[in-house]
Every structure is written in structure tokens, then in C-alpha cells.
């Protein structure tokens, strides 16, 4: 079975995570449905030590083939959940054969996938594309990674290719920052690993953001507006004032490359109560600390202005930049680059403007760069991927696992 066929099948399984239920893992019980499907597939392929634990993590192992016992054990990791940013239920992938370079209507949604908006499409002329129908995301982030990992292992076994130990793990709740927290490294027993959770198939990601989440609660005083002078304290307006204290040019829509940002992800409020939720990101650790200090100073200022207890700030670190760990393990990156060159592509090291399970895993002791899947425009209705790119990524993973 080709990786693209697996993706279409997995995409139809609803696995969206839920940040508002993040004290539980998995945050949504529906993620177990895909876990059980993958467990059965790994067993059917001949993996050993296959299991799904109480948190929906899927584990499997292929021991080294005869004569390859001295090679490193390599782990491949991808995540089950899809992003809560956009609907992930009732996904209906559509196939676009022999793409001609023009606009693609996304079902009857009225949305159009356009090369003007997504220039990567210009490099996919002649490919078969998998898109959404315009009403949901696709889920290639990261069901494409799962599909490519399983297909690569299936082909290695079918072709009897010599290989070192291969460990796989499929994780829940990566999209809400918890994907690697409960992963049992002793179950993997790997020397190093790779998350398959990126975009372009020629990229190797060695840098992530440093990341934190911030929740602010604003407490106001509600009185009748006709009798409000010197009495009313409008929580919703104080929340707006807080947002205005953050640097306006340092939002996602104004930043790129290594530039960090403050991103307002959710807001709700009334005169009496208001809540703002942010994510804070920066590749540089010192600048990251400054960003958190800006949040704290803004909350302090408003408490001094409106009274102590008006603003309550909760900051939670999510992950750190894995580059500081991976620089100590160049062999993991070099092995990936060699595999990419073996299929005729030139590898590119680029920073992720986001995070992967590999960020947490690298700090937990498993060096773990991130590789591409071929997908693009993740987390929304314009998500798409090329069948041919998925085939090439499958071949890259085969080379990664079989070449000494």
C-alpha cells in the first residue's frame, strides 16, 4: 500500500485534540480509535512489542536484521492528533490527478486552492495532489508522517533490506504541546530519533522555537452604565488595553525566519470577566525570557493602575529550542542529510517556526531532528500534499533506516 492510500484512510478518522482538556492525556478519547488501527497494522506487518498504552501512545519495534546488530537503533515518531484550530471531523479528501498548475476548487465550499496564495503548487505540476473539500483540514499534519513511516517499514520488510533496530512511536496531543511528555524512552531503546512532522521533504529541522502559553484573567466591576462613573471597571476593555501594551509589530503576521512573536489565540469577555490566551515564541532563549518579562510587566502595570487582582497571569513553558541539544549530536543530522541526497535532493537546514515532539525528546535525552512529510498549508482548509512527494519521503525513510 502506498503512503498516500494510508493517509486518505487515516484522514477520515477524527483525532482532533482539545487544549481546554489538556490536563488529561489524550485530551480527546477519539484519538484511541486511530491508535488501535495503527496497533493492528504494526502487528500485521510483523512488528514486535506492539502496544497501545493508557495514554494512546502506540509503540512497536523491529529488531536489527542478522548481521546489523551493531548498527544504531533509530526511532521514527509522528503524532496522531490534528490541530484544534480548524474542524477535523468528516474529512473528505479529494484527489487531483495530473495537476496542471491552475486553481483547484475545494469541493463545493467556494474556496479555491491557488498557486498565487500557495507558490509550492508550482513545483507540483504533473503530480497527483490530495486536498480537502474546503470544509475541514486534511490531517496530513501528521497523518502523512504516520503513513510514510509505516509504508517505509513495510517496504523494508517486503524487500528484506538489511537494517539496524527500528523503533516507532505514534503520539497523542502534539498539537497542544503534550505529545512527548509521557513517551517512554525506555520502550523505544533508540540511540537517536526523527519526528516526521514537517513540510518540504528535503528539509531537516534542527531548530524550534522556545515556547510558552499565557492565560490572563481580568476581573472587573459591573454596574449599570447609567450610574457607572467612578464605579465601573470594564474587564473587556482592560483586556484590550493589555493587548495594546504588547509590541504591535511582533505578531505572527509581521514576522518570519528567526523572528519571535506574541500571538493572541483566544479572547472572551464581558464587563465583569475577560480572558485572553496567548502563545509566546522565540528561537533565542534570552529574547524568549524578555518576552515573558514583557507579559509580566504589562500585568503588573494594569494591577497598579486598576487595583491588585484585576489581572491574573499564568505562564506555562511548553518546549525549548532543540538546537542546543542537537549541536552535540551531529551524526543524527548528517545521517538524515545523507538519506535525502540518496534520492537526488539537496538537503536544507531550516528553523521550524513552531515545535515538534522532537524538541521535548531532545531535552529528555533522545536527539531528534525533524523531517518533512511533503504537506503544506497545515491547520486549515487549504492543506494539501503530493502523492509523489509522499512516495519520495517514504524512500528517504527507507534509506535512513537501511544505510549504514
Coil, strand or helix: which one is 62?
strand
**β-bridge mates for residue 372, sequence order:** 198
Which residues lie below 8 Å from residue 308, measured CB to CB, with a gap of 6+?
none
* Summary count for the chain: helices (H), strands (E): 10, 18
166 touches 153 (CB < 8 A): yes
DSSP secondary structure letter of residue 310 = S
Here the contacts of 336-340 (C-beta below 8 Å, separation 24 or greater) are: 336/194, 336/204, 336/369, 336/371, 336/400, 337/204, 338/399, 338/403, 339/396, 339/397, 339/399, 339/400, 339/403, 340/201, 340/202, 340/204, 340/396
Yes or no: say if 79 and 170 are a contact pair by the CB < 8 Å rule: yes
Instruction: Give the span between the Cα atoms of 314 and 268, in whole angstroms.
Output: 16
Choosing from 174, 207, 383, 389, the catalytic residue is 174
Is residue 81 annotated as a catalytic residue, yes or no?
Answer: yes
Catalytic site residue from 81, 133, 142, 282 = 81
Q: How many CB atoms lie within 10 A of CB 305?
A: 11
Work out whether the CA dihedral 395, 401, 402, 404 comes out positive or negative: positive
Pairing verdict, β 370-372 and 192-198: parallel
Give me the sheet containing 166-171, strands edge to edge: 48-52, 58-62, 166-171, 74-79, 192-198, 370-372, 203-205, 348-349
Residue 137 to residues 87, 91, 276, 302, 357: CA-CA distances in angstroms? 6, 7, 25, 39, 21
Q: Which residues are identified as catalytic?
A: 81, 174
Amino acid at each position: 500500500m502506498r503512503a498516500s492510500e494510508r493517509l486518505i484512510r487515516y484522514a477520515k478518522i477524527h483525532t482532533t485534540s482539545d487544549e481546554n482538556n489538556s490536563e488529561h492525556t489524550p485530551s480527546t478519547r477519539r484519538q484511541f480509535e486511530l491508535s488501535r488501527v495503527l496497533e493492528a497494522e504494526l502487528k500485521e506487518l510483523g512488528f514486535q512489542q506492539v502496544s497501545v498504552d493508557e495514554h494512546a501512545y502506540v509503540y512497536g519495534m523491529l529488531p536489527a536484521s542478522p548481521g546489523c546488530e551493531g548498527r544504531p537503533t533509530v526511532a521514527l515518531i509522528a503524532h496522531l492528533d490534528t490541530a484544534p484550530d480548524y474542524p477535523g471531523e468528516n474529512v473528505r479528501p479529494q484527489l487531483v490527478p495530473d495537476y496542471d498548475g491552475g486553481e483547484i476548487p475545494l469541493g463545493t465550499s467556494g474556496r479555491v486552492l491557488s498557486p498565487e496564495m500557495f507558490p509550492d503548487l508550482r513545483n507540483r505540476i504533473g503530480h497527483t495532489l490530495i486536498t480537502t473539500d474546503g470544509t475541514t483540514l486534511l490531517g496530513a499534519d501528521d497523518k502523512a508522517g504516520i503513513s510514510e513511516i509505516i509504508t517505509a517499514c513495510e517496504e523494508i520488510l517486503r524487500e528484506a533490506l538489511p537494517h539496524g533496530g527500528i523503533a516507532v512511536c505514534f503520539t497523542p496531543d502534539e498539537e497542544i504541546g503534550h505529545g512527548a511528555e509521557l513517551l517512554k524512552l525506555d520502550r523505544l531503546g533508540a540511540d537517536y530519533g526523527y519526528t516526521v512532522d514537517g513540510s518540504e521533504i528535503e528539509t531537516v529541522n534542527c531548530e524550534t522555537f522556545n515556547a510558552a502559553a499565557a492565560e490572563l484573567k481580568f476581573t472587573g466591576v459591573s454596574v449599570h452604565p447609567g450610574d457607572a462613573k467612578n464605579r465601573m471597571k470594564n474587564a473587556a476593555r482592560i483586556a484590550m488595553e493589555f493587548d495594546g501594551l504588547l509590541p504591535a509589530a511582533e505578531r505572527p503576521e509581521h514576522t518570519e525566519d528567526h523572528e519571535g512573536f506574541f500571538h493572541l489565540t483566544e479572547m472572551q469577555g464581558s464587563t465583569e470577566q475577560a480572558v485572553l490566551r496567548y502563545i509566546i515564541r522565540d528561537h533565542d532563549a534570552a529574547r524568549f525570557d524578555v518576552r515573558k518579562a514583557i507579559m509580566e510587566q504589562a500585568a503588573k502595570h494594569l494591577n497598579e493602575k486598576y487595583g491588585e487582582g484585576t489581572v491574573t497571569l499564568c505562564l506555562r513553558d511548553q518546549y525549548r529550542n532543540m538546537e542546543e541539544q542537537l549541536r552535540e549530536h551531529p551524526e543524527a543530522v548528517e545521517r538524515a542529510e545523507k538519506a535525502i541526497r540518496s534520492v537526488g535532493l539537496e538537503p536544507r537546514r531550516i528553523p521550524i517556526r513552531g515545535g515538534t515532539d522532537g524538541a521535548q525528546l531532545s531535552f529528555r535525552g533522545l536527539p531528534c531532528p525533524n523531517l518533512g512529510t511533503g504537506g503544506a498549508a497545515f491547520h486549515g482548509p487549504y492543506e494539501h500534499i503530493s502523492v509523489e512527494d509522499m512516495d519520495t519521503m517514504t524512500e528517504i525513510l527507507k534509506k535512513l533506516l537501511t544505510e549504514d
